[in-house]
């Protein structure tokens, strides 16, 4: 794969960024500011665009601009959306009595990927974490309460990562939901403790949503 890519003949020369063109240099800087893209990759991408038709670059920048100016949070569930209400919330075939509470948009994507879940979502936007300055007021917690107050909602599934902060968040939300007529459940998951070498296994999250269990405090 790498055989086709023109490799810089002398690496330090390129790392030193001795460009003859300020325009190239600026473009490289922009690419290199993206996560996971080093300066060498940035240079490769820029040179690739230079070698192609100008239209290709125009298509790329236009689609990015459109995406950025058009994308917004769904007014109901805070998922990413092109419209005021996202395609999940707008889909009348989905089970409107079940809401799955997740931390972020990536979790929605992971669960959708499994095609096992037919209910709605609620994207919290994080977990309660005072060390990071995140309290319930910084999360989409209030809108969840408003949704839970509606008659059609029967079950709320907490699909939140099994960390100390995740547990605290579930505990907080459940306490605030106790006056509503909803069943609260959590996804089946291994007991886990935060702090070290932990990563969210998105696939496991999606699969375990089917095998959910009723929530009881202190578990």
Partner 1 sequence: MHLKTLTLTNFKNYDLQTLAFSERLNCLTGRNGMGKTNVLDAIYYLCMCKSHFGINDRLVMQRGADFFRLEGDFVREEKKEKIVAKVIPRKRKEIERNGVVYKRLIDHIGLLPVVMAAPDDTVIAREGSEERRRFLDNTLSQSDPIYLRHLVAYNRLLSQRNALLKQFHAERRFDENLLQIFDEQMQEPAAFIVKARQQFLENFEPILKENYAAISEDQEGIACVYNSKLLTENFADLLHDAREKDRVLQRTTIGIHKDDLAFKIDAHALKVFASQGQLKSFILALKLAQYEFLRQHKGIAPLLLLDDIFDKLDRGRVRSLINLILEKNYGQTFITDTDENRLQDILSAAGSDFKIFSVDEGTVDG
Q: What residues line the site for partner 1 (CB under 8 A)? A: 128-131, 133, 135-136, 164-165, 167-168, 171-172, 175, 191-198, 217-218
Q: How far is CA 110 from CA 1, 102, 182, 191, in A?
A: 29, 11, 25, 20
Q: Which does 195 bind (CB under 5 to 8 A by kind): partner 1, Zn ion, none?
A: partner 1
- Residue 56 CB coordination number (10 Å): 12
Q: Which does 35 bind (CB under 5 to 8 A by kind): Zn ion, partner 1, none?
A: none
Minimum Å distance from CB 35 to partner 1? Answer: 16
In the chain, the largest separation of any two C-alpha atoms, in whole Å, equals: 69
Minimum Å distance from CB 178 to partner 1? Answer: 13
- Indicate the pairing of strand 80-81 with strand 183-186: unpaired
Distance CA 196, CA 218 (A): 22
List the structure tokens of 195: 């702090």
Nearer to partner 1, 1 or 131 (CB): 131
Minimum Å distance from CB 172 to partner 1? Answer: 5
Nearer to Zn ion, 79 or 129 (CB): 79
List the structure tokens of 83: 């419209």
Nearer to partner 1, 61 or 192 (CB): 192
DSSP 164-204: HHHHHHHHHHHHHHTTSS-EEEE-------TTSS----HHH
Q: Which does 130 bind (CB under 5 to 8 A by kind): partner 1, Zn ion, none?
A: partner 1
Nearer to Zn ion, 82 or 132 (CB): 82
Q: Which does 74 bind (CB under 5 to 8 A by kind): partner 1, Zn ion, none?
A: Zn ion
Nearer to Zn ion, 74 or 187 (CB): 74
């Amino acid at each position: 794969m790498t055989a086709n890519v023109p490799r810089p003949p002398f690496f330090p020369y390129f790392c030193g960024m001795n460009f003859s063109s300020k325009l190239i240099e600026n473009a490289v800087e922009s690419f290199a500011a993206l996560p996971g893209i080093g300066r060498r990759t940035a240079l490769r991408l820029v040179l690739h665009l230079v070698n192609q038709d100008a239209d290709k670059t125009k298509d790329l920048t236009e689609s990015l601009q459109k995406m950025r100016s058009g994308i917004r949070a769904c007014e109901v569930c805070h998922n990413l959306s092109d419209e005021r209400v996202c395609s999940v919330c707008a889909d009348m075939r989905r089970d409107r009595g079940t809401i799955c509470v997740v931390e972020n948009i990536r979790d929605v994507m992971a669960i959708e990927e499994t095609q096992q879940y037919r209910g709605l979502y609620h994207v919290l936007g994080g977990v309660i974490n005072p060390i990071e300055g995140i309290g319930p007021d910084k999360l989409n917690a209030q809108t969840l309460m408003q949704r839970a107050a509606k008659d059609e909602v029967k079950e709320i599934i907490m699909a939140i990562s099994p960390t100390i902060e995740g547990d605290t968040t579930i505990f907080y939300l459940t306490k605030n939901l106790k006056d509503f007529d909803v069943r609260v459940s959590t996804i089946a998951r291994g007991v886990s403790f935060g702090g070290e070498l932990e990563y969210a296994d998105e696939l496991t999250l999606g699969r375990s949503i089917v095998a959910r269990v009723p929530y009881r405090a202190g578990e």
